[in-house]
Structure 1
Amino acid sequence: MLSFFIRLIKKRTFNSHLREIADYVDVGKSHLLMGFKLNLNRPIDKKKYVKIGDDTILECTITFESPNGEVIIGNNTFIGTSTIISRSQVVIEDNVFIAWGCYLYDHDSHSIDYKERENDILQQLSDLRAGRNFIKNKNWDVVNSRPIKICSNAWIGMHCIILKGVTIGEGAIVGAGSVVTKNVPAWTIVGGNPARVLKEIPEHLRKKSDHDKLLYTL
């Protein structure tokens, strides 16, 4: 009986959390686990910041540090306790595995100009001392931002960092602890900091396109 009430309390808490973010998420028949979090700074009313397909399991944190950004997650994808930070766009296609401890970051956060970084600190202090979110008035115009794309059937190992402008090709595998700063070719295994191609995935382990399947059956 006690376990029943514990499950009931957890369910109510979870549903309450979903209600709070419902206006900003478009989700299919998927599972947002208790660890799933959505952080919004000055959100645009009713904007769908996150779009999720079917049969996907999420336990990640998705953060939008400005009113901009978009995260699109496809079908049959799993993301563990990792973090996605978007001001541009992050697209994660179908049948993708992303382990725990990863960061996908589609912008630089600060300018390469030290004077602008000094201004960031001064603005953060001003906002904090006024009781506001410390990046409420951050100047995003000086921050570089480019979309990230994780193509279908990719696998991102634990504690990886995927930086702005990167595309992870179809079926690619990113080894644990890698820092990815450049595009990853499809059906390759990469690793290291910065990540580099270690080897190609054998042909017989690659997903066949419809055209390839037709040729294979002839």
Structure 2
Amino acid sequence: MYKKIKAKVLKKVNKKKYRDYIYNYNVNYLKSLGVKIGNDCRIESLNFGSEPYLITIGDHVTVGANVQFVSHDGGVWIFREEYPNIDVLAPIKIGNNVFLGINSIIMPGVTVGDNCIIAAGSIVTKNVQSNTIVGGSPAKFLKTVEEYKEKVLENSVNTKGLSYQDKKSLLEGIFYG
């Protein structure tokens, strides 16, 4: 059904409107499962585990493609014969103004502070302090958001608002001479 909706929508709207439609669709669907989601969020993943109601996401958060939220410890399976009802569960909390990179995994009980970046492919097993960037497996502190900002401002290219062709021409001129 998702593919049919996608095909119909693509014929009717431009890419930005389509992206906004998908983000809103994902947010509304996840809210119906019990995920608590703030305002102005871009959610590209629907991998919110078996207890989505234990997940809270603040305002202005991007959840990249294939990000996974794991709110339980599946390893207790090996004790299931001895303890048939065993479960270990913990909530996950994502602060405000956070970017969760593609293919990240957020483990049970993790709190990500405000103004954070989780690098692509990271496995976050511990709380992340506000204003920091973490990455790796397991995720470790990389730098502050302020240090990152200084670096990206040196290398940034202003392409927002350009047409596809204008953006292509600009980038080809920069990178290919």
Give the TM-score band, short-chain normalised. Answer: 0.5 to 0.7
Aligned letter for 2:59? Answer: D
Does residue 39 of structure 2 align to residue 75 of structure 1? yes
- Call closer, same or farther: CA 1:86–1:148 in 2, change over 3 Å: farther
Give the equivalent residue in structure 2 for 1:156. 100
**Structure-1 residue corresponding to 2:137:** 193
Give the letter for the 2:119 counterpart: G
Consecutive unaligned residues of structure 1, counting only runs of 5 or more, are 1-5, 12-30, 34-55, 121-138, 206-218
Structure 1 residue 89 corresponds to structure 2 residue 54: yes
Determine which of 109, 112, 118 is the counterpart of 1:165. Answer: 109
Among all aligned residue pairs of Structure 1 and Structure 2, give the percentage whose two residues are the same amino acid: 33
Unaligned runs of 5+ in 2: 10-19, 150-177
Q: In proportion to residue count, which structure has more helix? A: 2
Distance 2:25 2:68 in 1: 14
Q: Count matched residues.
A: 132
2: distance between equivalents of 1:58 and 1:175?
25
More strand by share: 1
Q: CA deviation at 1:119?
A: 7.7
Partner secondary structure for residue 111 of structure 1: helix
Q: TM-score, normalised on structure 1?
A: 0.52
CA RMSD, aligned part only? 3.2
Quote how far apart the aligned CAs of 1:70 are.
Answer: 3.5
Return the TM-score normalized by structure 2.
0.63
Q: In structure 2, what is the equivalent of residue 143 of structure 1?
A: 87
Partners of 1:108 and 1:86 lie apart in 2 by 11
**CA displacement at 1:204 relative to structure 2:** 10
Please list the CA deviations of residues 28-83 of structure 1 after superposition, one character each: whole Å capped at 9, or x if unmatched. Answer: xxx663xxxxxxxxxxxxxxxxxxxxxx6354785x9xxxx831011000110341
Report if the CA contact (8 A) 1:57-1:76 is conserved: no
Q: Is the 8 A contact 1:80 1:100 kept in 2?
A: yes
Structure 1 residue 159: deviation in Å? 0.2
